[in-house]
């Protein structure tokens, strides 16, 4: 510290204190700033802060506390990861339990399906489609839907899509120049995402109405009643990759077809995509009674039946309804319960509701039939997405069985009104 100068004889004590007292305080503060901090050799717990010290003095200890904070951050991260792993295990156990309950008809499968697609919507928002491990399969499925929609949709049509999901087919219908699209889905998260997608599409010239509702478990009138702009009856009813959920029970299957028939005008078409029951039979026929839970698949997809009733019943389904299996598809479907749709049963029920079968064929056959008319119509990006390693178009490897063989397309035409 710098000593005060001797008081001049001509200066009063009051003036001396006023002048040199503030000077000495300033010097003390400057010395405190330039004094190097003592090395932090003592444990952190021994560091103490003088309540009267200035802010500049207390900053000396900050680097020590920052180091401790990083240590805690690493510990917290490891703890969070541990908790997330435990939570995932609990969720998987709960889902497995719910699937068992669904197989035993203890709970309705709708709640599992709704939860799955709500979660998938959140996951999809955080991922990039072009990095998906099944991007070729997605391109192939989209090509199938382009071909199917173009085959039946025409300018000015009103389209009802049951199980519309996130509105992935809106642009396809835009190419067909329809006048109105009514989309209904059980997942509210999917409907919200469909709204966002529609709002981002500035060049669609048709009206879009998106509704959260149960397409198969209840009358469609309950869901669409608050939307007076819906133009019923429609020219087309589309059901893409979801009709199998209706075959949980005969009641739901009938309700689904009644909703279709009542929504469709005479002469209109009901078309869609669903798992091919004949391919599923072909796979099940390879298992005998000793296999309790028949299962097959590859790196892309997996199908697992919860029982071996098919083999026990002389390789026939004991009932056309409720034949549940869980389906896993990489980056898309996470072991969700689905139901076999015996196509002959679907055809017979559809006939009761005034719907006459016009066309049904596996994806691979339909693709081969239609691709010559489409290869020049597809964008360069779409053509590139469909090109195989041998230069031809379609899917290959593990994706071939998961898409080309596992699914079928169908189309019915309404020939008469259904009288209840």
User: Can you tell me the distance from the alpha carbon of 198 to that of 205, in angstroms, rounded to the nearest whole number?
Assistant: 11
Residue 399 and residue 410: Cα distance in Å, rounded? 21
The answer on whether 245 is annotated among ligand-binding residues is yes
**Is there a binding annotation on residue 142?**
yes
DSSP per residue, 132-181: -TTHHHHHHHHHHHHHHHHHH--TT-EEEEET-TTTTTHHHHHHTT-SEE
Q: Is residue 203 part of an annotated ligand binding site?
A: no
Question: Which of 114, 110, 111, 403 minimizes the C-alpha distance to 273?
Answer: 403
Q: Is 185 annotated as a binding residue?
A: yes
Interatomic CA distance for residues 207 and 229, integer angstroms: 9
Which residue is listed with tokens 């749709």?
341
According to DSSP, the residues that pair with 333 across neighbouring strands are: 329
For the chain, give the number of residues: 420
The answer to the question of whether 308 is labelled as a binding residue is no
390 is annotated as contributing to ligand binding = no
Tell me if residue 120 falls in helix, strand or coil. Answer: helix
3-state helix, strand, coil in the chain (%, to 5): 50, 20, 35
Q: Distance between CA 279 and CA 406 in Å, rounded?
A: 6
- List phi, psi (to 5°) of 230: -65, 130
Q: Is 20 annotated as a binding residue?
A: no
145 known member of a binding site? yes
Which residues line the annotated binding site for S-adenosyl-L-methionine?
A: 145, 163, 185, 214, 240, 245
Which residue ranges make up the annotated binding site for mRNA? 141-142
Q: List the binding residues.
A: 141-142, 145, 163, 185, 214, 240, 245
């Amino acid at each position: 510290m710098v000593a005060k100068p001797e008081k001049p004889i001509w200066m009063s004590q009051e003036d001396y204190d006023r002048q040199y007292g503030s000077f000495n305080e300033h010097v003390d503060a400057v010395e405190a700033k330039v004094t190097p901090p003592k090395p932090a050799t003592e444990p952190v717990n021994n560091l103490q802060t003088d309540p009267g010290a200035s802010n500049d003095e207390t900053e000396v200890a900050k680097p020590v506390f920052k180091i401790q904070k990083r240590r805690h951050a690493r510990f917290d991260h490891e703890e969070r990861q541990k908790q997330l792993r435990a939570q995932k295990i609990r969720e998987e156990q709960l889902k497995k339990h719910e699937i068992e309950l669904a197989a035993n008809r203890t709970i309705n499968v709708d709640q599992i399906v709704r939860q799955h697609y709500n979660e998938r919507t959140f996951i999809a928002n955080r991922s990039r489609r072009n990095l998906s491990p099944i991007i070729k399969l997605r391109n192939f499925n989209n090509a199938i839907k382009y071909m199917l929609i173009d085959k039946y949709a025409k300018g000015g049509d009103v389209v009802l899509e049951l199980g519309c999901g996130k509105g992935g087919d809106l642009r396809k219908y835009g190419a067909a120049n329809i006048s109105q699209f009514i989309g209904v889905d059980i997942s509210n998260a999917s409907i919200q995402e469909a709204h966002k997608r529609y709002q981002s599409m500035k060049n669609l010239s048709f009206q879009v109405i998106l509704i959260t509702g149960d397409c198969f478990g209840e009358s469609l009138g309950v869901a669409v009643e608050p939307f007076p702009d819906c133009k019923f009856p429609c020219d087309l009813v589309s059901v893409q990759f979801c009709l199998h959920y209706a075959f949980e029970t005969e009641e739901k299957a009938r309700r689904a077809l009644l909703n279709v028939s009542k929504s469709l005008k005479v002469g209109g078409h009901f078309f869609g995509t669903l798992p091919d029951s004949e391919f599923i039979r072909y796979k099940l026929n390879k298992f005998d009674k000793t296999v309790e839970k028949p299962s097959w698949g590859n790196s892309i997809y997996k199908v697992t039946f919860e029982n071996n009733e098919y083999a026990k019943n002389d390789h026939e389904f004991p009932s056309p309804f409720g034949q549940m299996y869980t389906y896993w598809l990489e980056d898309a479907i996470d072991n969700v319960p689905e139901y076999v749709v015996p196509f002959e049963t679907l055809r017979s029920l559809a006939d009761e509701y005034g719907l006459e079968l016009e066309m049904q064929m596996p994806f691979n056959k339909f693709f081969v039939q239609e691709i010559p008319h489409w290869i020049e119509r597809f964008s360069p990006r779409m053509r590139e997405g469909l090109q195989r390693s041998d230069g031809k178009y379609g899917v290959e490897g593990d994706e071939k069985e998961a898409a080309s063989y596992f699914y079928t397309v169908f189309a019915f035409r309404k020939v008469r009104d259904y009288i209840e």
